[in-house]
Amino acid sequence: MRALLVVNPQATATTPAGRDVLAHALASDVKLDIVETAYRGHAADAAAGAVGDGYDLVVAHGGDGTVNEVVNGVLRGGTRPGLPMLGVVPGGSANVFAGALGLPRDPVEATYRLLQAIEHGTSRKVGLGRVASAGDDGGHDRWFTFNAGVGWDADVVAGVEAQRAKGREASPALYARTAFASYVAQRRRRQSLTVNIPGEPPIEGVRLAFVSNTDPWTYLGDKAIRLNPSTSFDGGLGLFALLGLGLPTIARYVAHLLATDGNPKGGNLLRRDDVEFVRVTCAEPVNLQVDGDLLGECTEVEFTSVPAALTVAV
């Protein structure tokens, strides 16, 4: 078996020592090549090259952004037979995709699980989400593995990325502070979204829209945040959208999500599970994020469920 190990040396929990242990362990079972990413998009380029070179396995060692790039590289030419399997060894701060797959979020334990999967030939098909957007910057076309959204969550991602560019660590406290600042800004702007889902008339006056490809939606430290608990890699997309951003509404849902295992309900909540697509439009440009990565602004975006899009070693 030929394998390519794609390492993001800038990921939160990735270290040279951990990379060397992982590489040594994999090299004992497969013919291994290693790429360390040096620029945004490098992981995607490396994974796309691995497809062309006939590799059997591409292993992403980094955070969810690295996993997303590798997935987009593997699927750059679309879904088709003969694509390499994906392996994941977490090295970021949240590692949502690995957690949703039931993989250990600890890199050493995840390495052992990956070696077991290689030895026994165990894998599973996972469904993915796909984003197609339009906007002033020409739009985007991107796969996502666990979540995507427009509005508040994308503004938070933008704020955290700006802080990380200044050298600050991506911590739960940083996300909480940025989320509060973004909420205040959202209340002032009062952007209104229109949401379209299969079999229903357009829903206007939506203030934010979160789309899940699996459960949980994300992690806050070790706490799983579960917006659509019945969503999984084996079904369609989940939608969590709010029609109001008043402080009582936000406080109620935040408290519920932090104190329970999910299943939120309420009059201001538009929630759907297992839908084929979600289309969101807005008169003014809004931020768009996928898998915690800011794509930019858009005025129209469609999130589509693609069943059994990728094979993952588990």
Q: Hey, what domains does the chain have and what are their CATH numbers? A: 2-121 (3.40.50.10330), 128-308 (2.60.200.40)
Amino acid at 179: A
Q: What single-letter DSSP state applies at residue 273? A: E
Helices assigned H by DSSP within the chain: 16-27, 42-52, 64-74, 96-100, 107-120, 152-165, 172-189, 247-259
Bridge pairing between strands 193-196 and 140-144: unpaired
pTM given for the model: 0.92
Q: How far is the C-alpha of 191 from the C-alpha of 207, rounded, in Å? A: 6
pLDDT score for 236: 98
Report how far apart, in Å, the C-alpha atoms of 83 and of each of 76, 77, 79 are.
11, 10, 8
Going residue by residue through the chain, which has 314 residues, state the pLDDT in tens, using 9 for 90 and above: 999 999 999 888 888 888 888 999 999 999 999 999 999 999 999 999 999 999 999 999 999 999 999 999 999 999 999 999 999 999 988 899 999 999 998 898 999 999 999 999 999 999 999 999 976 666 789 999 999 999 888 998 888 888 878 888 777 788 888 888 888 887 777 789 999 999 999 999 999 999 999 999 998 888 899 999 999 999 999 999 999 988 888 989 989 898 888 788 888 999 999 999 999 999 999 999 999 999 999 999 999 999 999 999 99
Q: How far is the C-alpha of 285 from the C-alpha of 184, rounded, in Å? A: 18
3-state secondary structure of 186: helix
pLDDT score for 13: 81
pLDDT score for 126: 98
Q: How far is the C-alpha of 140 from the C-alpha of 133, rounded, in Å? A: 5
Amino acid at 31: K
Phi/psi of residue 262, each to 5°?
A: 105, -145
Copy the structure tokens of residue 48.
Answer: 């796309």
Amino acid at 299: T
